[in-house]
Structures are given as structure tokens and as C-alpha cells.
Amino acid sequence: MIPVPAAPPLPEGLTVERLGASTIISIRWRNMTSWALLPLGLVAAAIPLGLFYKLREMPWNDPIQLVVLVFGIVGLVFSYIVIGRLINVTRLEVTPERIRISHGPVPWRRPAEVATDTIRSVEARPFQWRYEGNVATHHHVWAVREDGHETCLLERDTTKEQANRVRDEIQQVLEARAAGKRN
């Protein structure tokens, strides 16, 4: 009897659920940067809101009120982004018919879908960006369609191991679909 090889462990922040013919892949957004930005996000929202409360007797058209209001809005948006990075998950629901990409629980972009019969290949590619003389590398997962157009399936701060595993999981479903069509 030949033993069945054990699947390699999942990279940190990644979960995979198989439910019949569908596979659900979830990738947490949380990383060390998210935790480091949390105090800054709270301060960015709290200080302008506190000043706005303190200066509420001033007329609305006063320049100081307007500046505080603008900084308050910016602080709230920044806090929203930080909270999203801490608790959101990107979820790819891969079925033989489609790949559905959604983000939540904090509302983010609208869900997107890609029909699997239009996909020629799935690729994991590095994405580099420069900041202050440093280079950061993340890995994105792309669906290359039959017509040559490409759709980004996963674009968060993803490691090479996470991107490769997501690509492999999607590829398994696509191969099972192709095998089912031949039979």
C-alpha cells in the first residue's frame, strides 16, 4: 500500500476549505504594519474630533473649524483603512463555473467574478514597489483569460508562499473541471 502524501502546511494567514466541488480560500489582511498603524489611526481620528467638539461654539465658516473638519474627515478615513486591514479577509470562492472574489467584513470593493471557462492559466507574479529607497515585494495572483486579458484575483500584501498556494488551489479546481468535461 502506497501512503498518500500529506499536503504541505498552509502559509500563515491562509485558510482553505473544500466543500464538494468548490474551494474557499481566505487570506487575512492583518500583518505587523496593521498593528503598528492602529495607534496612529486612533489618534488621527480622536484629535480632530476632540478639537471639533471643543470648538463647536465657533461659527461653521470659521477657517479653524474648516481645517479641523478636514483633518477629522481624513482621520476617520485613515482609521477606517486601518480597521479594515486588521479585520478584513479576502475570500476566493472557486467553483467549476466561476471564481468569486470578495472582501469583508468591513465593506471594501464590490465582489467580482471570473468565469472559469474563460481562464487559460493562473499565475503568481511578484509585484515590487519602492519607498524611501527601499524595495518591497508582494506577490499577486492573476487569471490570464483566453482572449489575453488579465484579471488580478489576489493583490493584498501577499507572500510568495501564499500566492503560490492560492494559484495551486485554483489550478486544482480548474484541472478537475477540465477532467470532468473530458469524461
pLDDT digits (tens, 9 = 90+) for 26-54: 998 887 777 888 888 888 778 777 777 77
Domain enclosing residue 49, as ranges: 34-85
| Phi-psi group of 94: left, alpha or beta (phi > 0 → left; psi -120 to 50 → alpha; rest → beta) | beta
Average of per-residue pLDDT values in the chain: 84
CA distances from 178 to 2, 83, 116 (A): 27, 40, 10
Measured between alpha carbons, how far is 63 from 59 in angstroms, rounded to an integer? Answer: 9
Quick one: pLDDT band at residue 183, thresholds 50, 70, 90? low
9 within some domain: no
Query: Does 109 or 156 have the greater pLDDT score?
Result: 109
Of the two residues 80 and 72, the one the predictor is more confident about is 80
Answer yes or no: do 138 and 78 share one domain. Answer: no
Whether 152 and 172 map to the same domain: the answer is: yes
* Whole-number Å distance between alpha carbons of 123 and 151: 10
Q: Are residues 73 and 134 in the same domain?
A: no
Q: List the beta bridge partners of residue 94.
A: 23, 99
**Per-residue pLDDT at 152 exceeds 60:** yes
Do 22 and 57 belong together in one domain?
Answer: no
Provide the pLDDT confidence category of residue 85 given band limits of 50, 70 and 90.
confident
pLDDT of res. 60:
67
Chain-centroid distance of CA 71 in Å reads 27
Residue 79 lies in a domain: yes
The reply to whether 169 and 110 lie within a common domain is yes
- Would residue 3 count as lying in a domain? no
* Mean pLDDT on 136-149: 89
State residue 21's pLDDT score: 82
Q: What is the number of domains present in the chain?
A: 2
Output the pLDDT for position 130.
Answer: 82
Above 70 in pLDDT, residue 68? yes
Provide the pLDDT for residue 20: 84
